[in-house]
Amino acid sequence: MVYASTRLGSTAGRAALKAYLISELVLAAPTAYYIGVLAIQHGGDFAPGFKDLLLTIFLFLVFSLVPASLAAWEIGRHKEFGAPQ
């Protein structure tokens, strides 16, 4: 079985991972902004229920923050230790 980290030795693999990380951050930004506005202003006239907010935060963590963190960690690990053999 070939792991993703073994394929990062190529320049194309690193570039693809960096492009993924940038796109993930750009696409997740509106959700992060929405969560921040709800946390600070409590939603104003547009205030979803607390359970909906918790669901939004959970989905943001699982599908945006965790994958972006793993990609950033993999990029950092590759820079620190070089390409895996």
8 and 83 Cβ atoms separated by less than 8 Å: yes
Tell me the pLDDT tens digit for each residue of 45-74: 666 777 788 888 999 999 999 999 999 998
Q: What is the DSSP string of the chain?
A: ---GGGGGGSHHHHHHHHHHHHHHHHHHHHHHHHHHHHHHHTTTT----HHHHHHHHHHHIIIIIHHHHHHHHHHHHHHHH-S--
Predicted pLDDT of residue 84: 54
**Residue 54, token pair as written in the block:** 């918790």
Domain locations in the chain as residue ranges:
19-81
Query: pTM to 2 decimals?
Result: 0.69
